[in-house]
Amino acid sequence: MVGNKVALITGVSSGIGRETARLLAERGARVFGTVRDPSRVDPIAKGEFVLMDVTGDTSVKSAVRSVLDKAGKIDILINNAGYSIAGALEETSVEEAHLLFETNFFGVLRVTQAVLPSMRRRGYGRIVNISSMLGVLPGPYRGMYVASKHALEGYTKTLDHEVRGFGIRAMLVEPVYTKTKIANNEKTVEAAIPAYADQRQRVTEIIEKEIAHGDDPGTVAEVVYAAVTAKSPRLHYPVGEGVMLSRLHRFAPERMFDNQFRKRFQLDQTT
């Protein structure tokens, strides 16, 4: 139950963040959802907006302070804000990689560090980091996004051990393809290398089709709800097809997984 809980969710203007905010508010939580531009979003059921850009120290600190001033506590933190960049790793500049990590990884670090002192003082907290199946698997032509989600997985696994003694748990929700604005909001590398063009295009078409036919964001929101209300939380919460994929990745022989993976993404078959 989340009836007496206060939740802070980053990135509620669309997609998974928006559906999670709606679900938690409907089930009784007091929800604060962060946005960068309130004029671009529809109101969330019973939720309150907070201005926050996760890439800014001052923005994050003042947003968290305003929630604590209004509600007195934050029981649940859902680090959801994120975006992707399309391009081969060789095509991705250090600047593009740095910007992506500022949101997908350092954004989580910033918000979590701002919230943890109040959770520690109260001896309770649930932190859900929205990772991805790409936090576990490779993802050609989305490699920098993959790297940011793998970093998030390592961070969360360790955080969970460090804060557990204070009554706080950290968890990873790992969606697969989900019908959101992620493809529209995706950036593309500036310095494309022609040698990658055909494969990049093939993979991008597959990803876009999968997202268009992917899970409803409400499905991910239900998994987030299960994670934050679990009596004995697990570290990993794969979503939908991700449950089977993560098992396959763990238990199938490496070469078999590698072959299937290259076939699925129509990558050139080599020795």
Give the interface with ligand NAP as residue ranges (CB under 6 A).
Answer: 10-17, 34-37, 52-55, 80-83, 103, 107, 130, 132, 175, 177-178, 180-182, 185, 211, 214
Residue 39 or residue 232: which is nearer to ligand NAP going by CB?
Answer: 39
Active site residue 61: no
Active site residue 93: no
Residue 123 or residue 217: which is nearer to ligand NAP going by CB?
Answer: 217
Report, in Å, the least distance between residue 121 CB and ligand NAP. Answer: 26
Q: Cβ neighbours of residue 134 under 8 Å, at least 6 residues apart?
A: 142, 145, 146, 149
Report, in Å, the least distance between residue 99 CB and ligand NAP. Answer: 9
User: Which member of 5, 14, 141, 145 is catalytic?
Assistant: 145
Structure tokens at 40: 């671009």
User: Which member of 5, 14, 84, 131 is catalytic?
Assistant: 131
Radius of gyration of the chain (CA): 19
Tokens 């576990």 sit on residue: 136
Q: What are phi and psi of 231, to 5 degrees?
A: -70, -40
Give the helix/strand (H/E) hosting 171: strand 168-174
Q: Angle formed by the axes of helices 94-104 and 143-163, to 10°?
A: 40
Report, in Å, the least distance between residue 212 CB and ligand NAP. Answer: 10
Q: What's at 179, amino acid-wise?
A: K
Contact between 74 and 6 under an 8 Å Cβ cutoff? The reply is yes
Report, in Å, the least distance between residue 165 CB and ligand NAP. Answer: 28
Active site residue 13: yes
Residue 95 or residue 268: which is nearer to ligand NAP going by CB?
Answer: 95
Distances (CA, A) of 133 to 150, 214, 244, 258: 9, 13, 11, 15
Structure tokens at 29: 């939580």
Helix, coil or strand: residue 222: helix
Residue 2 or residue 54: which is nearer to ligand NAP going by CB?
Answer: 54
Please identify every residue annotated as catalytic.
Answer: 13, 131, 145, 149
